[in-house]
């Protein structure tokens, strides 16, 4: 039965591209099968809301009951634990802080796998070690269900406006089905390859992002000390081979660019400790695969030192501030 549902859902997914979207959005909620959601934190909460907005009945749970209230008021059905979610929904999205949480939510005593139906589609949007994604996937497959990793890029803002980017790993034939749900929550849904490659893509991007951000901060700081005007230096870099996202879109030097955290005392944005976490994952996967990542590794250490020195909650572009000479302290 679930398999049948599953198949019809996939056809549905394919058709969606061709139908008149106003028709779709006017459909009554009852006509869509429910979607489970586990993990209603800063990211999960707005993501689940976007599923509701797109007309999906949502069956949700979180270990903190208070996290569920808002969604409940918006019409979601709140249940006790992941197993209950799996009992009531055959498509489930999970959004959790770290690998141990994912293992618990899937394979724990009240985990999804206790009651998962054959043919279910389980999508994990947490950012975790790709090796854990693979392990969970094996366990999911043994139950006759399908697992995909689909970590996101973009923060709470993008989650709220439904503009996340999803990097998806899993069996290619299931991608369309996943895409149907993920497009409700994101602007880009990219298929990356086998299970774990979604995580791999996410981790790789963030490692290079961190390197670019620290590199841009060092460079801007050095240039300023050598007498260059920061805006002019940014302009020169951006028309030259030094150009990167951190120099042209998210410049870490206050005053160079508007609408970025550097202009707002490094409030908002992507926190230093979250970057440190992602770099820790990059480091772990590099170690496990015996891949040298010297700059990635040093970037990890710098963000770790920043956490130790009071920058944990600031945007990760605050590395410019961290590296900048604190003139009152400087002697000799």
Active site amino acids: 202
**Residue (87 or 218) nearer to a copy of itself, CB:** 218
**Residue (72 or 205) nearer to a copy of itself, CB:** 205
Chain CA centroid to CA 248, Å = 22
Dihedral sign from CA coordinates of 164, 98, 200, 205: positive
Between CA 124 and CA 106 the distance in angstroms is 10
**Residue (184 or 274) nearer to a copy of itself, CB:** 274
**Residue (87 or 248) nearer to a copy of itself, CB:** 248
CB of 128 vs a copy of itself, minimal distance in Å: 13
Between CA 68 and CA 48 the distance in angstroms is 11
CA distances in angstroms from 155 to 76, 161, 315, listed in the order given: 23, 10, 11
If you ran DSSP here, which 8-state letter would residue 271 be given?
A: B
**Residue (104 or 218) nearer to a copy of itself, CB:** 218
Cβ atoms 198, 151 nearer than 8 A: yes
CB of 5 vs a copy of itself, minimal distance in Å: 31
First to last CA, the chain: 77
CA nearest to 250, candidates 205, 214, 199: 214
CB of 267 vs a copy of itself, minimal distance in Å: 14
If you ran DSSP here, which 8-state letter would residue 125 be given?
A: -
CB of 259 vs a copy of itself, minimal distance in Å: 15
Coil, strand or helix at 312? coil
Chain CA centroid to CA 220, Å = 29
CB of 213 vs a copy of itself, minimal distance in Å: 9
Residue 25, Ramachandran bin (φ over 0: left; ψ between -120 and 50: alpha; else beta): alpha
Cβ atoms 243, 216 nearer than 8 A: no
CB neighbours of residue 217 within 10 Å: 26
CB of 318 vs a copy of itself, minimal distance in Å: 13
**Residue (29 or 313) nearer to a copy of itself, CB:** 313
Q: Phi then psi for 294, rounded to 5 degrees?
A: -60, -45
Between CA 189 and CA 154 the distance in angstroms is 12
Q: What are 185's two structure tokens?
A: 């929550």
CB of 183 vs a copy of itself, minimal distance in Å: 16
Q: Where are the alpha helices (DSSP H) in 17-81?
A: 21-26, 44-53, 69-73
**Residue (61 or 247) nearer to a copy of itself, CB:** 247
């Amino acid at each position: 039965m679930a398999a049948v549902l599953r198949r019809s859902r996939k056809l549905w997914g394919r058709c969606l591209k061709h139908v008149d979207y106003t028709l779709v959005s006017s459909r009554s909620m009852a006509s869509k099968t429910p979607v489970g959601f586990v993990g209603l934190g800063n990211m999960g909460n707005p993501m689940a809301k976007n599923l509701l907005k797109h007309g999906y009945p949502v069956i949700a749970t979180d270990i903190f009951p208070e996290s569920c209230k808002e969604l409940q008021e918006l019409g979601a059905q709140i249940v006790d634990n992941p197993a209950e979610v799996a009992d009531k929904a055959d498509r489930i999205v999970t959004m959790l802080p770290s690998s141990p949480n994912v293992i618990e939510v899937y394979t724990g005593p009240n985990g999804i796998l206790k009651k998962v139906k054959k043919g279910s589609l389980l999508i994990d949007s947490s950012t975790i070690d790709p090796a854990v994604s693979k392990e969970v996937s094996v366990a999911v497959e043994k139950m006759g269900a399908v697992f995909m990793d689909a970590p996101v890029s973009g923060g709470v803002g993008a989650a709220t406006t439904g503009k996340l980017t999803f990097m998806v790993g899993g069996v290619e034939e299931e991608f369309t089905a996943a895409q149907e749900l993920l497009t409700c929550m994101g602007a880009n849904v990219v298929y990356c390859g086998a299970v774990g490659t979604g995580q791999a893509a996410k981790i790789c991007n963030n490692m290079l992002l961190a390197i670019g951000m620290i590199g841009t901060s060092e460079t801007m700081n050095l240039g300023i000390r050598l007498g260059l005007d920061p805006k002019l230096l940014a302009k020169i870099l951006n028309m030259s081979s030094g150009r990167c996202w951190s120099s042209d879109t998210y410049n870490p030097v206050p005053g160079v660019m508007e609408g970025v955290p550097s202009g707002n005392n490094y409030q908002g944005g992507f926190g230093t400790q979250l970057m440190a976490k992602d770099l820790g994952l990059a480091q772990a996967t590099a170690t496990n695969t015996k891949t040298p990542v010297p700059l990635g590794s040093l970037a990890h250490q710098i963000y770790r030192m920043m956490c130790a020195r009071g920058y944990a909650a600031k945007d990760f572009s605050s590395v410019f501030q961290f590296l900048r000479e604190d003139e009152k302290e400087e002697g000799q």
